[in-house]
């Protein structure tokens, strides 16, 4: 069965390799522009993102448009076999607009309007800003949407931030009226506004959260975050609409970057292709654990792939260092190729960088780039980039391939926002993202592919669905999980789940609320533990997972009662020693596990998911054991599998293959039965796909 999807662009049906390119910064240096083209080809680059912050170079005065320089760049690209994602420049507007139309300037939470400066300092609600954006975007689209070098729209850049101006306040109230059926009573109940006498008696009394105003109505906080996210998505749609009609076949994307204020899962729905910007701090994390960081990065690659269940684009990464992390350390030998190909292993059809050439001045003059201030190609970074380009050229058959997945982790933006606002059990850190990572990293270590999904998605395609800290869950989604288990699925939930519904009101009748019947337990109490506190999970003899021994637990512990579930392990110490800490509940044709405490040791999660995967016959990429810090990830076209074996352990490793025949994609030779991986090494293998 053919499982290969169409490439992002039929003009360039290969792995994309390139960078953000800012020729407008170098218009006074024509020799630089000529040399750039030569070195792009030398680095095996085939696509550039242009125009991202070019507004003032395209419209230096209101209504005066200057496209000659962009004509020249795109025509030169076409003559040299280089392509472009053409950006809309809304991320940073010119000073003349701020001066003439101050309403476009963003108002902060303290209700002070910003001065002109930085980027993304604009109001998404402003009619003037929307008008000016649509006008320039339309002119760009009219001129370039059918240009032979242009393969897609790069809409704006890393949407983010929020505005609290009067226009946004009015828009927020209108949004609430729609959400709550124009009923203040309904809104007040949803927000539990009788608390502290916060009941609203007029829509005009509703204001966005502010440090010198309201911050303690959690339903208000959550709805404001939803409104801000939807405002950004609506503005993105406004930009898409302004260019789409000129060439409906040209795909649109906008680059995402772990910005907390946007629900990317919803933003992805209006895009043709998902792209994101990845900047892991390799080699200088606080715990100096590149394997954990690699798992964190892989989890996000998988999340962006899962948004549309098709290949995504790595739109930005650094070829060397950044200028904004706490320490700007160089990538060690091999890490650039390893980290770049990690994105491909998890579903990317591109490796692109910020930036092609270092800026000569301003805030990003020391941010990593393919071309340094020296201006030539005789650098370690350039050689690393060219090597990645050569490898990508060998991976044409991988373009459009998909990732077969049997396991999913639920990760919701609403839940994330609500947890961070919860004010309970452990205000020193509930660590939602870190908790999700604990579960993900174990699967990553085992070489089990994972989708990162929302709680409203279809679960039927998965053998195992994991929901770490599903604090916010609606009754409807709880019923959907229950039905999934009854019909034969396997579910795993944890502590601090099923606590509040969609408006952040606590479920009544006992936690875990709508998951109580599914999990077969009642959580009577949940406590936060000090960092110095330590408990443990001790596996019960003869448990159905056949796990043994004990594991340290910390930070959060839940005191649960069995309501049909069976205990698999118990607490080691404190007054609740001997009480259930890990359970399983049989429901219909399926089963549901519950982990009542945060286990400290990664090995526990590896052991747990290895046992569950064995019971549920969940496939691994390789049917062999992997050293700690080494993972194997899979892409397939249905006829051939492409296996990426990657070493993030920080030491040389040997991986024994599983007895099947493999070909090394880069060399074309048969792969040995034992792979020897250097520090920061990887192997890309091809094998025949297993037919379902």
Strand partners, 502: none
Q: How confident is the model over 485-505, as a mean pLDDT?
A: 98
Quote the radius of gyration of the chain (alpha carbons, Å): 26
- 296 pLDDT above the threshold of 90: yes
CB neighbourhood size of 470 (10 A): 26
Residue 540 near residue 518, CB atoms below 8 Å: no
Give the residue numbers marked as catalytic.
158, 316
With vertex at residue 457, the alpha carbon angle to CA 446 and CA 481, rounded to the nearest 5 degrees, is 80
| Helix H or strand E segment including 156 | none
Cα torsion through 42, 43, 49, 54, rounded to 10: -70
Residue 344 near residue 15, CB atoms below 8 Å: yes
How many Å apart are CA 297 and CA 303, to the nearest integer?
Answer: 10
Where do we find the tokens 């910064």? 25
First-to-last alpha carbon distance for the chain, in angstroms, is 9
Q: Quote the tokens at residue 220.
A: 């208000």
**Distance, CA of 396 to chain centre:** 25
Residue 97 near residue 163, CB atoms below 8 Å: no
How many Å apart are CA 80 and CA 68, to the nearest integer?
Answer: 18
Is 180 in a helix, a strand, or coil?
coil
Residue 3 has a pLDDT of 81
- 133 pLDDT above the threshold of 80: yes
- 53 pLDDT above the threshold of 80: yes
Q: How many residues does the chain have?
A: 692
Is 64 in a helix, a strand, or coil?
strand
How many Å apart are CA 618 and CA 633, to the nearest integer?
Answer: 14
CA atoms within 13 A on the CB side of 427: 4
Where do we find the tokens 């994101």? 276
Residue 283 pLDDT level (bands cut at 50, 70, 90): low
Where do we find the tokens 């550039």? 48
How many Å apart are CA 9 and CA 151, to the nearest integer?
Answer: 6
Beta-strand (E) ranges in 195-300? 252-253, 255-256, 275-277
Residue 338 near residue 647, CB atoms below 8 Å: yes
Nearest alpha carbon to residue 106 among 168, 55, 53 = 168
What percent of the chain has pLDDT above 90? 93
What one-character DSSP code corresponds to residue 6? P
- 508 pLDDT above the threshold of 70: yes
**Cα dihedral sign, 160-221-596-489:** negative
Residue-wise pLDDT for 624-676, tens only, equals 999 999 999 999 999 999 999 999 999 999 999 999 999 999 999 999 999 99
Residue 527 near residue 500, CB atoms below 8 Å: no
Q: How confident is the model over 516-521, as a mean pLDDT?
A: 98
| Helix H or strand E segment including 557 | strand 550-562
The 3-state secondary structure of 377-433, one letter per residue: CCCHHHHHHHHHHHHHHCCHHHCCCECCCCEEEECCHHHHHHHHCCCCCCCCCCCHH
Nearest alpha carbon to residue 48 among 88, 86, 89, 8 = 86
- What is the CATH number that goes with domain 630-688? 2.60.40.1180
- Burial of 189 from C-beta contacts in 10 A (0-12 / 13-18 / 19+): middle
Residue-wise pLDDT for 560-574, tens only, equals 999 999 999 999 999
- 1 pLDDT above the threshold of 80: no
- 206 pLDDT above the threshold of 90: yes
- Hey, where are the domains in the chain? 16-161+224-398, 407-616, 630-688
- 692 pLDDT above the threshold of 60: no
Residue 139 has a pLDDT of 98
How many Å apart are CA 494 and CA 655, to the nearest integer?
Answer: 33
- 287 pLDDT above the threshold of 70: no
CATH class of the 407-616 domain in this structure: alpha beta
How many Å apart are CA 414 and CA 263, to the nearest integer?
Answer: 8
Nearest alpha carbon to residue 154 among 277, 72, 62 = 277
Q: Quote the tokens at residue 7.
A: 């490439």
φ/ψ of residue 520, rounded to 5: 70, 30
DSSP alpha helix (H) spans, 159-262? 166-179, 184-191, 218-244
- Burial of 37 from C-beta contacts in 10 A (0-12 / 13-18 / 19+): middle
CATH class of the 16-161+224-398 domain in this structure: alpha beta
Residue-wise pLDDT for 312-363, tens only, equals 999 999 999 888 888 888 899 999 999 999 999 999 999 999 999 999 999 8
Residue 369 near residue 326, CB atoms below 8 Å: no
- Across all residues in the chain, what is the average pLDDT? 96
Range in 37-46, 75-84, 535-544, 683-692 the model is least confident about: 683-692
Report, in this order, helix, strand and coil percent for the chain, each rounded to 5. 35, 20, 45
Residue-wise pLDDT for 254-266, tens only, equals 999 988 899 999 9
What one-character DSSP code corresponds to residue 515? G
Pairing state between β 630-636 and 597-599:
unpaired
- 583 pLDDT above the threshold of 70: yes
Is 497 in a helix, a strand, or coil?
coil
What residues are designated binding site for Zn(2+)? 123, 163, 165, 168
How many Å apart are CA 453 and CA 437, to the nearest integer?
Answer: 14
Pairing state between β 275-277 and 521-528:
unpaired
How many Å apart are CA 12 and CA 108, to the nearest integer?
Answer: 43
Where do we find the tokens 């040997």? 654
Q: How confident is the model over 50-74, as a mean pLDDT?
A: 97
Q: Over the range 628-639, which residues count as b (16 or more CB within 10 Å of their CB) and which as e?
A: ebbbbbbbbbee
Where do we find the tokens 């704006």? 156
Cα torsion through 624, 629, 635, 641, rounded to 10: -30
How many Å apart are CA 396 and CA 16, to the nearest integer?
Answer: 10
- 691 pLDDT above the threshold of 80: no
- 442 pLDDT above the threshold of 70: yes
Residue 73 has a pLDDT of 97
φ/ψ region of 44 (left if φ > 0, alpha if ψ in -120 to 50, else beta) reads left
Residue 634 near residue 403, CB atoms below 8 Å: yes
Residue 286 has a pLDDT of 59
CB neighbourhood size of 425 (10 A): 18
Residue 179 pLDDT level (bands cut at 50, 70, 90): very high
């Amino acid at each position: 069965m053919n499982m290969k999807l169409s490439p992002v662009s039929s003009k360039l049906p290969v792995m994309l390799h390139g960078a953000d390119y800012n020729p407008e910064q170098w218009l006074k240096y024509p020799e630089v522009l000529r040399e750039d083209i030569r070195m792009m080809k030398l680095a095996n680059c085939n696509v550039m993102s242009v125009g991202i912050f070019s507004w003032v170079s395209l419209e230096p005065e209101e209504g005066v448009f200057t496209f000659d320089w962009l004509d020249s760049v795109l025509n030169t690209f076409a003559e040299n076999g280089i392509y472009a994602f053409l950006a809309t420049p809304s991320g940073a507007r010119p000073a003349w607009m701020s001066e003439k139309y101050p309403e476009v300037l963003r108002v902060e939470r303290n209700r002070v309007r910003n001065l002109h400066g930085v980027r993304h300092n604009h109001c998404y609600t402003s009619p003037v800003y929307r008008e000016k954006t649509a006008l320039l975007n339309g002119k760009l689209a009219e001129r370039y949407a059918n240009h032979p070098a242009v393969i897609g729209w790069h809409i704006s850049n890393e949407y983010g931030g929020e505005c609290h101006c009067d226009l946004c306040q009015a828009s927020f109230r209108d949004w609430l009226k729609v959400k709550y059926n124009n009923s203040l009573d309904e809104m007040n109940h949803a927000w539990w506004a009788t608390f502290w006498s916060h009941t609203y008696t007029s829509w005009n009394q509703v204001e966005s959260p502010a440090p010198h105003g309201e911050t303690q109505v959690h339903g208000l906080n959550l709805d404001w975050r939803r409104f801000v996210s939807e405002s950004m998505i609506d503005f993105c749609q406004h930009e898409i609409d302004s260019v789409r009609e000129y060439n409906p076949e040209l795909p649109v994307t906008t680059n995402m970057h772990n910005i907390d204020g946007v629900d990317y899962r919803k933003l992805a729905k209006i895009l043709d292709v998902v792209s994101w910007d990845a900047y892991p701090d390799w080699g200088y994390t606080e715990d100096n654990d590149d394997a954990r960081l690699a798992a964190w990065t892989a989890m996000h690659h998988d999340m962006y792939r899962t948004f549309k269940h098709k290949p995504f684009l790595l739109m930005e990464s650094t070829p060397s260092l950044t200028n904004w992390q706490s320490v700007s350390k160089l990538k060690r030998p091999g890490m650039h190729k390893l980290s770049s190909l990690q994105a491909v292993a998890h579903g990317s059809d591109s490796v692109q960088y910020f930036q092609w050439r270092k800026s000569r001045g301003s805030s990003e003059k020391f941010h990593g780039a393919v071309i340094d201030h020296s201006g030539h190609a005789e650098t370690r970074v350039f050689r690393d980039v060219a090597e990645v380009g050569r490898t990508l050229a060998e991976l044409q058959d991988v373009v459009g391939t998909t990732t077969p997945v049997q396991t999913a982790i639920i990760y919701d933006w609403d839940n994330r926002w609500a947890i961070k606002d919860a004010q309970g059990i452990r205000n020193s850190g509930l660590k939602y993202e870190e908790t999700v990572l604990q579960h993900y990293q174990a699967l990553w270590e085992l070489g089990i592919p994972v989708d990162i999904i929302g709680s409203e998605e279809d679960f039927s395609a998965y053998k195992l669905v994991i929901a770490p800290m599903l604090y916010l869950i609606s009754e409807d989604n709880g019923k959907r999980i229950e039905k999934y288990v009854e019909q034969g699925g396997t579910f795993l939930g944890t502590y601090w789940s099923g606590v509040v519904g969609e408006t952040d009101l606590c479920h009544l009748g006992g936690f875990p609320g709508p998951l109580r019947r599914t999990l077969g337990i009642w959580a009577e109490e949940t406590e936060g533990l000090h960092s110095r506190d330590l408990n443990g999970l001790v596996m019960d003899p003869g448990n159905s997972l056949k796990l043994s021994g004990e594991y340290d637990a910390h930070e959060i512990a839940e005191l649960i009662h069995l309501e049909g579930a069976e205990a698999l392990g118990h607490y080691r110490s404190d007054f609740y020693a001997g009480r259930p800490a890990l359970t399983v509940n049989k429901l219909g044709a399926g089963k549901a596990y519950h982990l009542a405490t945060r286990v400290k040791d990664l090995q526990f999660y590896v052991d747990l998911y290895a046992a569950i995967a064995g019971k549920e016959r969940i496939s691994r990429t390789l049917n062999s054991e992997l050293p700690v810090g080494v993972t194997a990830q899979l892409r397939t076209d249905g006829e051939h599998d492409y296996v990426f074996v990657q070493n993030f352990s920080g030491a040389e490793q040997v991986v024994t293959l599983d007895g099947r025949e493999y070909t090394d994609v880069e060399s074309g030779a048969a792969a040995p039965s034992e792979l020897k991986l250097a520090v920061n090494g990887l192997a890309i293998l091809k094998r025949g796909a297993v037919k379902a």
